[in-house]
Chains A and B, each alone.
Chain A
Amino acid sequence: MKHLLMWNPVAQPRETVLYSVEYQGEYESLYMSHIWIPSSQCSPTNGLECDVTDDVTATVPYNFRVRAMLGSQTSAWSTLEHPFNRNSTVLVAPRMEVTEHGLHLVVKLEDLGPQFEFLVVYWRKEPGATEHVKVVKSGNTPVHLETMEPGAMYCVKAQAWVKAIGRHSTFSQIQCVDMQGESLPL
C-alpha cells in the first residue's frame, strides 16, 4: 500500500520554500490532542507531496497537517479536512505472469510488500470448468498451480488482499496458456 499526502505550493518567486508535515493518529487526537508527530519522511521537504505510508500504520483515522517554511518564517498549519483511514484504500489489481514449464502451470505475482497476500483463481478452459483457488502469501516467487494435460488450455486471474485493512483489489486481467503457445491476454 502507498499513501501520499499532497498540497498546493506557496508562491514565493526565486525562493526555496520548505514544507513540514505532522500527523496524529486517533489515539493522539482522543487522548493526547496536544501531541503532533513529525512525519517520518517529510520534516522538512521541498516537494509538494509526502509518502505517509510508514506513518499510517494502524487502521484508525489519522489527521495530517502541513505548513510552509521560508528561512525563519513559518506559515500557519493547514490541516486535512477529513481524517484519513487506510481502510478506504483502493487496491489495484496485481500484475502477474503466467507461464508453462513442461507440464506445469506456473504463476508469478508482483511483489507488493509484506502486507499483501493474493488469491489466485485458475481453471481449465472447457465447458463447465471447475475453478480452483490458491492463496499465495507473497509476490515475486513463482508458484506451481497445476500439472496440465497436453493440448488443454488453462486460464488464471488474481486479486490482491490486505488483511490489515480487510480489503481486496479487483481481479487482474485473465491470462490463458496452452501447452505449446505463449500466454494469451484475453
Chain B
Amino acid sequence: MTLPSVLAQVDTIPEDSGGPYVIAAYVVFLVMVVVYLAIMAQRLQRIAKTADALEARLDALQPGSGAAPSPSATAPAEPVAITPKAPATPAAPATPAGDPAA
C-alpha cells in the first residue's frame, strides 16, 4: 500500500454516494480526539506549573536551599505511579467536611 495508491483512492471518492459525508464523519472523530489531546496537554502544563511552584515553595522552606540545587533538578526522571498512595485509614481532611474547598 503506497501513498500514490492511497491518493488514487481519495481521488475516486464518489460524491453521489455520500463521499463528503463519509470524510466529514471521520474528520469529526479525529478532530474530537485531537481537541481532547490538546486539552490534556493544557492540563499537563498546568500540573507542571503547579509542580514548579510547589518545588519553589519547598526550596524556600529548607534552610540554605538557595545555594544548593533542588534534588528534582538533578535526579533522573522516574516513572510515576498512577494510583495515589492511599493511607490504610482515611486521612483527616485538611478542611472541614462540607466546605466547598474540601
Q: Do A and B bind each other?
A: no
| Chain B residues at the A interface, C-beta cutoff of 8 Å | none
